[in-house]
A and B are shown apart, each in its own frame.
Chain A
Amino acid sequence: MNGTAKPMTGSDPILEIRDVDKAFGGVQALDRIGFALEKASITGLIGPNGAGKTTLFNVITGIFAPDAGDIRFAGQSIENLEVHQRVSLGIARTFQNVELFESMTAMENILVGLYTRTRAGMIQSMLRLPRTRQEEARARDQAMELLKFVGLQDYASRKSGDLPFGWQRMLEVARAMAAQPHLLLLDEPAAGLNMSETGHLGELIKEIRKQGITILLVEHDMSLTMSISDQIVVLDQGRKIAEGTPRAVQEDEAVMAAYLGKKANPTND
Chain B
Amino acid sequence: MDDKYLPAIYTGFALGIAFLGWRIDNAYYLQLLIFIGLNTLLALSLNMLMGYAGQISLGHAAFYGIGAYVTAILSTTYQVPPLLALPAAVGAAMLIAWIVGMPTLRLSGYYLGMGTLGFGMIVHIVLREWSSVTGGASGFVGIPPLTVGPVEFASNKSYFFLVWAVVLAVIFLCRRIIDSRVGRALCAIHDGEKAAAAVGVNTRRLKLQVFVLSAGIAALAGFLYAHLVFFISPGSFGFMASIKIVTMVVIGGMASIWGALFGASLLTLLPEWLHAFSEFEMVVYGLILMVVMIFMPRGLTRGLMDIYERYRKTHDRQ
Contacts and interface: CB of A to CB of B under 8 A. Distances in A.
Q: Do chains A and B touch in the complex (CB under 8 A)?
A: yes
Nearest to B255: A103
Contacts, number: 91
Interface of B: 173, 176-177, 180-185, 187-188, 190-192, 194-203, 209, 213
Residue of B185, B194, B200 most packed against chain A (CB within 10 A): B200
A104 B183 CA distance: 11
A152 interface: no
Contacts of B196: 101, 112
Contacts of B194: 63, 99
A103 B187 contact: yes
Interface string A174-193: 01101100000000000000
Contacts of B201: 84, 112, 115
Contact of B191 (A1, A92, A101, A135): A101
Interface stretch (A122-130, A225-233, A246-254): A122-130
A125 B195 contact: no
Nearest to A1: B202
A83 B213 contact: no
B239 to A, nearest CB: 30
B209 to A, nearest CB: 6
B176 A125 contact: yes
B204 to A, nearest CB: 8
Nearest to A179: B200
Contacts of A178: 199
Q: How large is the interface on A (under 10, 10 to 19, 20 to 34, 35 or more residues)?
A: 35 or more
A95 interface: yes
A64 B177 CA distance: 32
A84 B187 CA distance: 16
Contact of B195 (A99, A126, A132, A136): A99
A61 B187 CA distance: 22
A126 B174 CA distance: 8
Nearest to A89: B200
B200 A88 contact: yes
A115 B200 contact: yes
A136 B213 CA distance: 22
B177 A84 contact: no
Nearest to B172: A126
